[in-house]
Amino acid sequence: MLRVQRTFSTVVPALSGYYIAGQTGLVPLIMLASTVFFLHISANALNDLGDYESDKRNAPDRVLITGVLTKQQAAVLSVSLMVFGLSLAWMLDWLLFSIAATLGVVLWMSYSFGTRLKDRPVGSFVYLSLSTSTIPFLGGFIVMRNLHTSSAALALFLVVFTSSIMIISLKDIAGDRRANKITIAVKFGERRARELAISLILVPIATYPLLWLVFGFSQIYLLYVTIPILMRLIIAFLLSKNDVNTPRVLVRILIITDFAMLALARPEPGLSWL
């Protein structure tokens, strides 16, 4: 239910942004990582509540479906984790807490309940692309009060790199269609959705140099990106062979790698103004 293994593709971008924004202290970095971690697993628990019907087909081994936890227990767990995560955010920075407790909670709820962004092609695509890594990446800039034109532009630019997260919906087409969830994969059909996923994986390869040319990252970045480029080629190849399970795992590792490489090549003394 908590799917801790998925949190790293959110925690690492948050730490990357914090480090690029100028934070090098170990304790603040740990505090931000803990905040993002608990808020993420809280959202995972809430997501399982929202996906109860589709998970009967897509993931019958999940604890809600097997009856290990009741819906009420899952709701209490989700809220408890959220409150703890927000408490850590408060201790770290009041502005981060304020944003997380208002806009964050609204997005958190609207993804799985109410308007259910996840049931709409554009809503699910935009939400996953932004919330997986881009919004956490900006968290560090918010804490450092270093959010300006360049950092916002960089975060938006990085959506190109994280949009490949839509791969995770490919495996769930049958269950999502049965539950009347119109994700991109359901809307396009498996073949076209897989072709789109391959495009989203490969297109960023041509944009990596822009992070050095436009945003002023260290020239060593051009060497570092050979690793994520190779990963993108492997993921695209696997998708072309109709393997959707392995790419689902690799795409999260890819996001971790992309943001780790950014941190290792962070601009000195800061981002260039556009």
pLDDT digits (tens, 9 = 90+) for 162-183: 888 877 777 767 666 776 677 7
Distance separating alpha carbons of residues 43 and 10, to the nearest angstrom: 12
2 confidence band (pLDDT: 50, 70, 90): low
What's the pLDDT tens digit per position in 16-59? 999 999 888 899 999 999 999 999 999 888 877 777 666 666 67
pTM: 0.88
Least confident of 81-85, 110-114, 181-185: 110-114
For the stretch 130-166, pLDDT in tens is 888 888 999 989 998 888 888 889 998 999 898 888 7
Per CATH, the homologous superfamily of domain 4-264 is: UbiA prenyltransferase (1.10.357.140)
Residue 86 Cα distances to 37, 40, 41, angstroms:
11, 11, 13
Residues 42 and 12 sit within 8 Å (Cβ to Cβ): no
pLDDT for res 203: 93
List the structure tokens of 41.
């697993």
DSSP assignment of 63-130 equals HHHHTSS-HHHHHHHHHHHHHHHHHHHHHH-HHHHHHIIIIIHHHHHHHHSTT-GGGSHHHHHHHHHI
CB distance 252 to 155 below 8 Å? no
Instruction: Name the residue ranges covered by the structural domains of the chain.
Output: 4-264
Q: Two tokens at 135?
A: 């919004």
91 pLDDT higher than 80 = yes
Q: Is the pLDDT of residue 265 over 90?
A: yes
Q: Which amino acid is at 166?
A: M
Q: Do 207 and 146 form a contact (C-beta atoms < 8 A)? A: no
Specify the higher pLDDT residue, 58 or 62: 62
Residue 273's pLDDT band (cuts 50, 70, 90): very low
SS3 call for 25: coil
Residue with tokens 């690799």: 250
- Model confidence pLDDT, tens digit, residues 179-236: 667 777 777 777 888 888 899 999 999 999 999 988 889 999 999 999 999 999 999 9
Q: Is the pLDDT of residue 114 over 60?
A: no
